[in-house]
Structure 1
Amino acid sequence: MVIQQLRVSGFRNYERVELSPPPGITVLYGANAQGKTNLIEAVSLCCLGRSHRTPRDAELVRWGESMAQVRIRVQRRDGPHEVGVTLSRDEGRKKAIRINGTAIERMGELMGHVNAVLFSPEDLRLVKDGPEVRRRFLDMEISQLRPAYFYALQRYARALHQRNGLLHTLREEPGHALGATLDDWDALLLEAGAQVIQRRIAYLQALEAESARIHGALSEGREALALRYAGQAEDAQTLERLLHAARGEDLRRGTTTVGPHRDDFRLLINGRDARLFASQGQQRTAALSLKLAETEVMRRMLDEPPVLLLDDVMSELDIKRRRMLLERLGGVQTLITCTDLSDLGGAKHDAAVRVENGALREETSEKESGHDTV
């Protein structure tokens, strides 16, 4: 998959710009707060229907504008796809999404039309941060590959919200008549939760095979990376048993204590928990391995590569890891943001675009950073 054209208007600090990146590596460079990350955000918005930086659509609308529009045209194996997203500053109005000119009713219909892997400085904390970060990582990637997973997540979230509300009511009023509906919510939670768990485990197994191979190469054979799903249950039967056993505790606490909303996965380096025992450098290499593996898994499952979005990660990696990353970008359209071309360490690129105060200026003549490879 390649992006043929990205158009934004009234989005963040952009009045109106257009970007047509080549199939290879495009570098978006310039000083901080000029709009580089906003372009990455625009692509991600067309991929998942929401920003990876804020849950509030109104924040994406340019100051002084009432609405923002983002349109992307991509070429896939099965032909061209076009996604358009319209956002309003009025938070009472829903965002409008069109696919090939047709409005969609459900967010799940968007999944899979634009596939991208985003690697930002926040992802470098994937190893050391809390479980919710790793759950979000799994959920975002699997949703792109399996729209049915996205719908299962939605059903689970709704059932969990309703069950928790009921548990809170029953804690305050133990004899409330609504208590008779608890079994119904348990059934809905179980049905959707089992699907979420099964998809996560299957994806993690595929991710482990690729990330172990990549991490071995990045560490020059010194380290072995393994991934382990850390959940309370790994199948529907176990989840049902644990949910039933936890009912008394759930009623006492007024919340659901069992289910995939509490799950995690562990990264092991040479058999030891990387979150607890790995150095910062080892943790960053593991995160880099995961992101590169994510790209390869998506390429294999879709039979075409996704777009890779590298947002300001070069400055966070040492020269060796930068080089290792850039060497593995063959055949993948990549957008890289950085403050200066020297951040690439001499690596070749196909286009360089200076971003300054919401304006783009392509410098087609410069294909290398101009610095010797260290």
Structure 2
Amino acid sequence: MFIRHITLQNFRCFATLDIPFQSRCVLIQGNNGAGKSSILEALHYSCYLRSFRTHVHRDLLRLNEDHFFIKITTEAHDLSSCDVMSVGFSPAQGKLVKFNDKPVHSYKDHIDHYRMVTLSADDLQLVNGAPEVRRDFLNYALFLQSPGFLAVFKRYRQILEQRNSILFSLRHSSGLSSNEELRIWTKSLWEQSNIIRVIRCDYLQNLEVTVNKLLAEYFVTTDQDLSVSLSYHDKVAYTEQNFESFWQMYKQKHIMSEQQHGRSLFGVHLDDFSIIFQQKKARVFASRGQQKLIVFLIKVAQMLDLNHLGEPGVLLLDDFLTDFDDHRVAQCLTALYGLPFQIIVTCPTNASALTTGLAFSAREEDFSIVSL
């Protein structure tokens, strides 16, 4: 998929905006406050139906306006067809999504048409942020890769909600551990957790392989010992071979804590994964530059894995490369230019090294600049 055109109305600082994207590699440059990030935010919003900068949809409205509208024209990867995705929002009516003028009623159908991976400075939280950041990354990465995962995860949330409701109602009950209803919902949560855990672990394993291939191909010449590993962690172990073994262990060690808290204290909603860089925890021992490199590699690997599954999308980089040194910028650009999908990058007007590097790396017909 290639993005060929974007139209915005009442989105952030733009009353109206029309921009054609004429190449595989697009550089959007401008001064601070010109709206570079807002364009990428609109592209991101059209995929995830949420912003990477705010959780409040109203924040995306232009001042004193009561709605915004985004229209994106895409072209198939094999250039066989063009499609139009449109997303509108107003506080009164909520979101309205259309594909080729037909309403889209499910997120699964939406993702089938339009896939986007975004890389911004906030993504450093993938390394140094809280566990929920990494869980969100895994969940959305799996939604992109297999929209059917959404139904699996929704079923998990329903089971979790029901089990939490039981725990809350039995919070002051002395017979909690023998409650048969709780046992039934515990088994459902255990089963669904194991299904999702396997899916997540397989994804991380494949992602780790792709990350290290990128390291070996583009970064090993100057950093011989670079390696990244991704390790999944259960907050409470629930991987016993059968439920009865788990249930007996859980009653002995954890059920009283659940009784006190009134909520489930095991399951994939509490799990995490660690990022190991050069055999040390990246969160603690990696420098900021190394953490940025790790996140860059993870997002590029995510795109490559999508592409290998026949689901190519678009990679967005929101002013992410400009504070690398020139050598690291050159390595990243070499890696980006070798990718088989569209890349849209923002940078300040004065980022001459990045602009020159992109232009030098790409063939003339593959590179274009949008100036704001």
Q: Structure 2 counterpart of 1:222, which letter?
A: D
Matched positions, count:
350
Deviation (angstroms), 1:210: 0.6
Whether the 8 Å contact between 2:172 and 2:259 is mirrored in structure 1 is no
Whether the 8 Å contact between 1:8 and 1:69 is mirrored in structure 2 is yes
Whether the 8 Å contact between 2:187 and 2:243 is mirrored in structure 1 is no
Q: How does 1:304-319 map to 2 (within 5 A)?
A: 305-319=312-326
Q: Structure 1 counterpart of 2:229, which letter?
A: A
Aligned residue number for residue 81 of structure 1: 83
The runs of 4+ residues in structure 1 deviating greater than 4 Å are: 172-176, 232-244
Aligned residue number for residue 324 of structure 1: 331
Aligned residue number for residue 214 of structure 1: 214
Cα distance in structure 1, aligned partners of 2:314 and 2:244: 39
1:14-73 CA-to-partner distances (Å, cap 9, x unmatched) read 111122212322111112222111111111111112222222222222222221111212
**Consecutive unaligned residues in structure 1, runs of 5 or more:** 356-374
Alignment root-mean-square deviation, CA: 2.5
Does structure 1 residue 299 correspond to structure 2 residue 300? no
Whether the 8 Å contact between 1:23 and 1:332 is mirrored in structure 2 is no
Structure 1 residues 253 and 3 mapped into 2: Cα distance closer, same or farther (>3 Å)? same
TM-score (norm 2): 0.85
Aligned residue number for residue 282 of structure 1: 290
Aligned residue number for residue 254 of structure 1: 262
Q: How does 1:351-370 map to 2 (within 5 A)?
A: 351-355=368-372
Structure 1 residues 65 and 233 mapped into 2: Cα distance closer, same or farther (>3 Å)? same
Cα distance in structure 2, aligned partners of 1:115 and 1:139: 14
Structure 1 residues 156 and 226 mapped into 2: Cα distance closer, same or farther (>3 Å)? same
1:302-350 CA-to-partner distances (Å, cap 9, x unmatched) read 2x63211000112332222221221122333111111124151621342
Deviation (angstroms), 1:113: 1.5
Q: How does 1:173-184 map to 2 (within 5 A)?
A: 181-183=181-183
Structure 1 residues 277 and 103 mapped into 2: Cα distance closer, same or farther (>3 Å)? same
Structure 1 residues 64 and 281 mapped into 2: Cα distance closer, same or farther (>3 Å)? closer
Percent identity, aligned pairs only, is 28
Aligned residue number for residue 364 of structure 2: none
1:254-309 CA-to-partner distances (Å, cap 9, x unmatched) read 1211011111112222322222232333322222221221121111112x632110
SS of aligned partner of 1:53: coil
Deviation (angstroms), 1:132: 1.5
SS of aligned partner of 1:19: strand
Deviation (angstroms), 1:233: 4.9
Q: Structure 2 counterpart of 1:284, which letter?
A: K
Structure 1 residues 163 and 122 mapped into 2: Cα distance closer, same or farther (>3 Å)? same
Structure 1 residues 42 and 274 mapped into 2: Cα distance closer, same or farther (>3 Å)? same
SS of aligned partner of 1:32: coil
Cα distance in structure 2, aligned partners of 1:148 and 1:236: 26
TM-score (norm 1): 0.85
Q: Structure 1 counterpart of 2:232, which letter?
A: Y
Higher deviation after alignment, 224-233 or 44-53: 224-233
Deviation (angstroms), 1:2: 0.4
Does structure 1 residue 334 correspond to structure 2 residue 336? no
Aligned residue number for residue 97 of structure 1: 97
Deviation (angstroms), 1:238: 6.4
SS of aligned partner of 2:231: strand
Cα distance in structure 2, aligned partners of 1:105 and 1:301: 25
Cα distance in structure 2, aligned partners of 1:195 and 1:327: 38
Q: How does 1:183-198 map to 2 (within 5 A)?
A: 183=183, 185-198=185-198
Cα distance in structure 1, aligned partners of 2:82 and 2:190: 39
Higher deviation after alignment, 242-251 or 51-60: 242-251
